[in-house]
Amino acid sequence: MNARKATKTEFRENIDRGTANTEKGAIMNNRRDFLKGSFLMAVGMVAGGSSTAFGSSGKFPAGIVYTRQDPGKWAEKIESHAPKVDVKGNKVTVTTEHTMSEKHYIVRHTLVSSDGRVIGGKTFYPSDKKAVSTHELSSGHGPKLYATSFCNLHDFWVTGFVLPNQ
């Protein structure tokens, strides 16, 4: 992975690494499946190292991870599901512009470094008004981070981004 400073344009574009989802995989529609998927992804990140976390192609596993660039079967759901990131100082705010109701809501956010360290996480409940979480950055995580957001109906989404001024 390139550790150079990100330009503002690069940061705003929330550079994603993803894969087209051409396979119809199992839909993770409960928390247990979500946690299992998160664990497998973290294992993959750690096992693969920071520069080859998802192989030389830089792609996420098909049918597991959806991104703004590769929304797969959820192409109509990008704006309401791809997590948005705002960095101010050492705080990263992750927002999913998604409604929250008993039947359909955002379950959880995490912020993860490129070497698989979970910097922060927040679990939501249907009664929460918004899916917004703020995470404090510590040192040693490198410039490339991933914000994740899981919808109980529309699966696991990731937005990769590069911290400015790193």
Nearer to Fe ion, 42 or 153 (CB): 153
Binding of residue 108 to Fe ion (CB under 5 A):
no
Cα-Cα end-to-end distance for the chain: 14
Binding residue count for Fe ion, defined by CB under 5 A: 3
Helix (H) or strand (E) holding 33: helix 31-48
- The interface mask with Fe ion, positions 141-160, x = CB under 5 A, is ----------x-xx------
The token pair at 104 is: 């359909």
- Count each helix (H run) and each strand (E run) in the chain, helices first: 3, 8
Cα separation, 91 vs 166, in Å, equals 14
Question: Residue 145 or residue 151: which is nearer to Fe ion going by CB?
Answer: 151
Residue (131 or 162) nearer to Fe ion, CB: 131
Q: Return residues touching Fe ion (CB under 5 A).
A: 151, 153-154
